[in-house]
Structure 1
Amino acid sequence: MNKVIITTDSTADIPVDIAEKYNIRVAPLHVLYDDEDFTDGVDITPEYILKRYEEREQLPSTSAVTPEEYRQFFEGILNEGYTQIVHIAFCADMSSTYQNAVIAAGEFDQEIYVVDSRCLSVGMMLLCLRACELRDMGISAKHIAETLGDMTEKNIGGFLLSQLEFLHKGGRCSSISLLGANLLNIKPSIVVKDGAMSVAKKYRGKDEICRLKYMKDRIAEFDGQIDTSRIVLHTTCDLSEKEIKGYEKELKKLLECDEIIVSTAGCVITSHCGPGTFSLFFMLK
């Protein structure tokens, strides 16, 4: 039994089959509707969030895993016989998950290393998969954590939003910006860099055309620098399988890569970004 295990938060949006294949354990965040407290990916789904908004125009808030929940999470894993844990946490500048995990890790004598991913969503998954590869090479948890810390700047990702309504409802977008985007049919792209999100290029037109242009632009921006061993195509749950396969086909035309992972946004990304969200994540060489 390998004594090193990789763990992360539910914001990593790791498909179940990938988590099982690489033995990655996931600590779920909370999704809150007034006095209702749901556990991300356990008793609530992205589909439910979109349906509830459609029916009631009600959006949830989200909250971090608490120190006590992390303590129980780590304790359960250590009781299985693992002696070293590398936990890849949701960006410290966006959530208290990192700090809470650090607090919990400090209560154990065993080696638990908490890494600030400096990103979110499947950017975290890319770091997890790299960590698993290092683990399977026999690398120690300490060295894995140090290596990941050096890799965070090479983690490239962002989102193309179909609408701004969810950001507006969540207080992250002004009414004027919402009105302008709706009138002009603008689809803003959000980049994640240095632990922060900011608006980059703005697209205009139908979703399909904007998404194809977005993929072309992102690949062209990092031409010759992309690690083509693994690319993640990430969408919200409302896109059909046919649509996703079409984008995957177009991505293969744009870039020769060894593996394309298709991932669906979990409850946290869905509740903040809304339906129609589309993204591309990769690492640089």
Structure 2
Amino acid sequence: MRRLILSTESGADLPEELADKHNVQVVPMHVIIDGQDFLDGSLPVTDIYDYYERTKKIPSTTSTNSHEYHEFFTKIKIDFPDCIIIHIGYTSKASSSFQNAIIASEEMDDIFLIDALNVTGGLTALVIYAVTLLENEPTIDPVRLVEKIESKVPKSRLAFVPGSLEFLRAGGRVSNLAYLGGALLKIKPRIELIDGNLVSTKKYRGKMDGVSEKLMRDYLNEYDIDREQLYLIYSVGLDERIKQRMDEIAKETGFKNVKWMQAGAMISTHAGPGGFGIAGLEV
């Protein structure tokens, strides 16, 4: 039986302990500061915020290029001879990374590519879903596994409130940021992935503690999320009391497992400090 290997990008913010435990291979994206290229995962998130405080400039990000993907896939095949790779990628609507993966794999055999149409916790939810399928059915046909993962892509729901409108605006990834009508005092946008695009869907007013609770309750009212697993995402700077309150709400609403994920350097460059998000799979 040929081994199936799952892979994804650093923009999934897949916690390192989960990647190691389940042998998920992760290819880094890039953060650029003053012309210097850092691999996502090699740069402390606090360096991004310190740089902004010093310069009032926000770093940029770039996708994994096709050459890096070719090296990445080649290394997997060397490490796991005769394996089949199933790559679950960062949304193609917000990055060229997935297209670069396609280019890299054109002359390679036994690589399946799935556009997750999602990022951070929404992408991780799909990766862990795939991990669970493999654990429960190790001999599953790879085509069947891909079909099952793809069927869950529209059911992966991510919503977040960024910590800083300046970071969000500078990133330029949200298609309708003008919806906000400017950076009004204490107005925070709710950002979701709609068909793979980052879209501002609602406005919240107030401090982050109240906004986080409104976001979570709205999300759980709007989506029938599988109570087996919930993913909560934070960027450095989120108040610990907010995290405790979100844990309480998750418990109150019947979630069996809650996994907190820290936004990495690439995601944090767009979301800013003190952001909060929630992700899960609809039933």
From 258, 269, 272, the equivalent of 1:271 is: 269
Q: Does 1:107 align with 2:120?
A: no
Compute the displacement of 1:171 (Å): 4.7
The question of whether the paired residues in 2 share the 8 Å contact of 1:230 and 1:257 is answered with yes
From 181, 197, 201, the equivalent of 2:183 is: 181
Partner residue of 1:202? 203
Partner residue of 2:194? 193
CA distance in 2, matches of 1:169, 1:81: 40
From 253, 256, 264, the equivalent of 2:254 is: 256
From 265, 272, 284, the equivalent of 2:282 is: 284
Partner SS, residue 232 of structure 2: strand
The question of whether the paired residues in 2 share the 8 Å contact of 1:165 and 1:178 is answered with no
Partner residue of 2:87? 87
- Describe the superposition over 1:90-147 as per-residue Cα deviations: whole angstroms up to 9, x where unpaired: 11111111111112122223x1101000111111111111111222212133222222
Q: Does 1:46 align with 2:45?
A: yes
Compute the displacement of 1:55 (Å): 1.8
Q: Does 1:28 align with 2:28?
A: yes
CA distance in 2, matches of 1:117, 1:147: 12
Q: How does 1:115-194 map to 2 (within 5 A)?
A: 115-136=114-135, 137-138=137-138, 139-171=140-172, 180-183=182-185, 185-194=186-195
Partner residue of 1:213? 214
Q: How does 1:222-241 map to 2 (within 5 A)?
A: 222=223, 225-241=224-240
Structure 2-normalised TM-score?
Answer: 0.92
CA distance 1:179–1:194, change in 2 (3 Å):
closer
Paired letter, 1:262: W
Compute the displacement of 1:202 (Å): 0.8
Partner SS, residue 228 of structure 1: coil
The question of whether the paired residues in 2 share the 8 Å contact of 1:163 and 1:182 is answered with no
The question of whether the paired residues in 2 share the 8 Å contact of 1:22 and 1:132 is answered with yes
The question of whether the paired residues in 1 share the 8 Å contact of 2:8 and 2:24 is answered with yes
- Please provide the CA RMSD for this pair: 2.1
CA distance in 1, matches of 2:29, 2:86: 18
CA distance 1:201–1:150, change in 2 (3 Å):
same
* Structure 1 range deviating more: 187-196 or 6-15: 187-196
Partner residue of 2:58? 59
CA distance in 2, matches of 1:209, 1:130: 31
CA distance in 1, matches of 2:183, 2:156: 29
CA distance in 2, matches of 1:175, 1:104: 33
CA distance in 1, matches of 2:129, 2:113: 15
The question of whether the paired residues in 1 share the 8 Å contact of 2:239 and 2:274 is answered with no
The question of whether the paired residues in 2 share the 8 Å contact of 1:7 and 1:85 is answered with yes
Structure 2: segments with no counterpart, 5+ residues: none
Once the two structures are aligned, what percentage of the paired residues are identical? 33
CA distance in 2, matches of 1:182, 1:197: 20
CA distance 1:79–1:55, change in 2 (3 Å):
same
CA distance in 2, matches of 1:84, 1:172: 33
Paired letter, 1:181: A
- Describe the superposition over 1:215-257 as per-residue Cα deviations: whole angstroms up to 9, x where unpaired: 11111112xx22111100101011244542332123222x211
The question of whether the paired residues in 2 share the 8 Å contact of 1:13 and 1:265 is answered with yes
CA distance in 2, matches of 1:177, 1:89: 28
The question of whether the paired residues in 1 share the 8 Å contact of 2:29 and 2:62 is answered with yes
Structure 1-normalised TM-score?
Answer: 0.91
The question of whether the paired residues in 2 share the 8 Å contact of 1:160 and 1:187 is answered with yes
The question of whether the paired residues in 1 share the 8 Å contact of 2:90 and 2:116 is answered with yes
The question of whether the paired residues in 1 share the 8 Å contact of 2:6 and 2:24 is answered with yes
Structure 1: segments with no counterpart, 5+ residues: none
Paired letter, 1:284: E
Partner SS, residue 48 of structure 2: helix
- Describe the superposition over 1:25-46 as per-residue Cα deviations: whole angstroms up to 9, x where unpaired: 100001112320100002x121
CA distance 1:180–1:64, change in 2 (3 Å):
closer
